[in-house]
Copies of this chain bind each other. A is one copy, B any other.
Amino acid sequence: MTDTLPIQDLIGLVRPQLDRLNRELVQDLAPGHREMLPLVEHVGGFRGKQLRPVLTFLAGMAVRGATHGGSLGDDVVTVAKVVELLHTATLVHDDVLDGASLRRRIPTVNQMAGVEVAVLLGDYIYAKAFHMAVQLPDPTAARWLAETVRVICQGEITQVLHRFDFAWTESRYFQVIAEKTASLYAAACRLGGHYAVASPAGGTEARLRALEEYGLELGIAFQIVDDCLDLDGDERVVGKSLGTDLSKGKITLPLLYLMQRGAGEGERLRAVLGRSEAEALRRLRAEFPLEHAVAYAMEEAQRRIAKAQACLSALPPGAARDALHQLAAFVVTRRL
């Protein structure tokens, strides 16, 4: 996990808040029946970079130009927990959709306890997250996040409906990844800022919009990088098998580049997509200029990151704003 080192410096700023979040989430998720406990504890093992709650905390600090996370109130922690739980629920269901057997080197819920339990446990975690959100006196988070989950599902469904669709376009691709991935980043950032401000003064809305836009562009870049890693990542570093998008017929940005090179390219791609992961990847590498396609996509990701960073100028300078700036840079250099 050497490549998480740079990000750990950025996280240091909000380490106490993140530790508190992880401590509380174990208790919060505790089920009413003891036989469910192993399932709930197992899901805790999926914990990854926790980018979203980190963003919530940093956004909360940055909106006020705070120098340390200690000034963040309980409500910001609650929002970060809800965001992390919603993300966890999507992971549990994603593994069902993908028939995945491993996540972060431990068995997925569907692998461990079957598809039925995995679908229900995802629902359970969603419900728990919403229940936490509606305990907040200010209903903004509950409203924003319920709509965000609706939008995430809408994006995911649309993507499934357009697999193997060789008429798919870049604008629809960007729309779908904004919905399925970036919307939660945008919510994590905006709501972190929202709940960190006790009484919104003039100018607060402009800062919240800047944070939301930052999260959106960062999230879009994050998904583009994810899509590239599926094609040219290092399987041992990424920690999951590559070529799954190809095998499933997902038309991601590198493929859209290849399709745009000329008439008939879609037809040639059609012969590659839908094959086994290794076979699809082998043929794509052999028959298409894959490096160009990935470079094209990564340039777009870089542009999005630059846009995200530019949004930060609306915020007061300080350590949190700097951390958000570097976090954005991390998203395009990550290899997992």
Contacts from A to B (Cβ < 8 Å): 31-33, 35-36, 39, 93, 96-97, 113-117, 119-124, 126-128, 130-131, 133-135, 139, 142-143, 146-147, 149-154, 156-158, 160-162
Contact = CB atoms under 8 A, between A and B. Distances in A.
A127 B31 CA distance: 21
Contacts of A157: 36, 39, 117, 120-121, 124
Contacts of A123: 93, 122-123, 126, 149, 153
A122 B116 CA distance: 14
12 contacts: A32-B151, A36-B158, A93-B120, A117-B160, A121-B153, A123-B123, A124-B153, A127-B150, A130-B142, A130-B149, A134-B146, A142-B142
A123 B150 CA distance: 8
A21 to B, nearest CB: 20
Given A93-B119, A120-B160, 5 more contacts: A31-B154, A113-B161, A127-B152, A130-B142, A135-B143
A1 B146 CA distance: 37
A146 B130 contact: yes
A146 B127 CA distance: 5
Given A97-B120, A153-B123, A131 B158 contact: no
A157 B147 CA distance: 26
Contacts of A114: 160
B35 A158 contact: yes
Contacts of A161: 35-36, 113, 117
A3 to B, nearest CB: 31
Contact of A126 (B35, B126, B134, B154): B126
Nearest to A248: B116
Nearest to A180: B120
B134 A143 contact: yes
The listed residue with most B CB atoms (<10 A of its CB), out of A115, A120, A131, is A120
A148 to B, nearest CB: 8
Contacts of A121: 153, 157
A249 B224 CA distance: 45
Contact of A36 (B93, B124, B147, B154): B154
A124 B114 CA distance: 22
A116 B134 contact: no
Nearest to A132: B146
